[in-house]
Amino acid sequence: MDLRKRRSQEKLQLALAQHLEVKTIDEITIGELTKTAGVSRQTFYSNFESKQSILLSRIESLFDKSWKKLDSLILSNAVGREEFVEFCVKSLLEECDKDRALMRAAFTGQAGIQALSLLKSFISRLIEERILFQFNHNFDGKQLDIISDFYAGGIIGVVQGWLVNEEDQDIHQVTRQIGLIIPHGLDGFVKQIGPEVKAV
């Protein structure tokens, strides 16, 4: 991507974040966005298909960066389960903090159901593909769906609270609590269904 195109996209992302402070995404017009960003409508449509696509592209970028951090940690094999979960959530919060207004709108639903659904999809995938493998158990499809949906909803709720809280909450404290809750909760679940779960 050339520098001019990237700058145009960043301007439109900032403009959307500014308007989302006072309006929902449905109330914001393309004209308002282009005026605030200082770009033409032609520039808008050469970069994005819609207002929603501005936010969706930012969410995809956020998770792509978090994913790369996690892959490097997995390869190093340097941490235990609790620390790994902490790192997962911390990388997510740190990326959200870089674009707090936009992410607040996404996580609270102010930016529309499409953005919230994409967040849930990414976090569920994070749990299924990066966290559950730490438990060395072969969960069946139904168990996997229940676990990922349950913890994805919980993580979204925690991030919502962290993003809308006017007083800054310590990232380390939040991630430490989640790092304890998820592994110990899953340990209890595995213990209860033990005979039905086959070790890998």
CATH number at residue 173: 1.10.357
**Structure-model confidence comparison of residues 70 and 176, the more confident one:** 176
Q: What is the CATH number of the domain that holds 27?
A: 1.10.10
Residues 39 and 62 in one domain: no
Instruction: Answer for the pair 171, 100: CB distance below 8 angstroms, yes or no.
Output: no
Are 67 and 154 within one domain?
A: yes
Q: What's the full length of the chain, in residues?
A: 200
* Same-domain status, 16 and 64: no
Asked if 186 and 120 count as a contact pair (C-beta separation under 8 A), the reply is: no
Task: Give the domain extent around 137.
Answer: 56-199
Going by C-alpha positions, the residue among 20, 2, 116, 98 that lies closest to residue 33 is 20
Quote the tokens at residue 74.
């997995």
Last residue of some domain: 48, 68, 83? 48
Are 39 and 65 in a shared domain?
no
The answer on 171 and 79 residing in a single domain is: yes
Same-domain pairing of 38 and 65 = no
31 and 63 together in one domain: no
Measured between alpha carbons, how far is 15 from 176 in angstroms, rounded to an integer? 34
- Residue of 24, 175, 197 whose CA lies nearest to 88: 175
Angle, CA of 190, 121 and 198, to the nearest 5°: 25
Looking at the fold, whether 71 and 137 belong to one and the same domain comes out as yes
Q: What is the pLDDT of residues 51-97, one digit of tens each?
A: 888 888 888 888 887 777 777 776 666 667 788 888 888 888 888 88
Q: Does residue 137 sit in the same domain as residue 73?
A: yes
Q: How far apart are CA 28 and CA 158, in angstroms?
A: 27
Are 62 and 88 part of one and the same domain?
Answer: yes
Confidence of residue 194 (pLDDT cuts 50, 70, 90): low
99 in Cβ contact with 13 (< 8 Å) = yes
pLDDT tens readout for residues 22-59: 888 889 999 999 999 999 999 999 999 998 888 888 88
Nearest to 54 by CA among 101, 87, 13: 13
Whole-number Å distance between alpha carbons of 101 and 18: 7
Q: Is the pLDDT of residue 198 over 70?
A: no
Tokens of 50: 């819609």
pLDDT, position 197: 45
Query: Which candidate, 109, 110, 117, 108, places its Cα nearest to that of 24?
Result: 110
Indicate whether 110 and 31 sit together in one domain: no
| Structural domains counted in the chain | 2
Is the pTM above the cut of 0.85?
no
Same domain, 107 and 157: yes
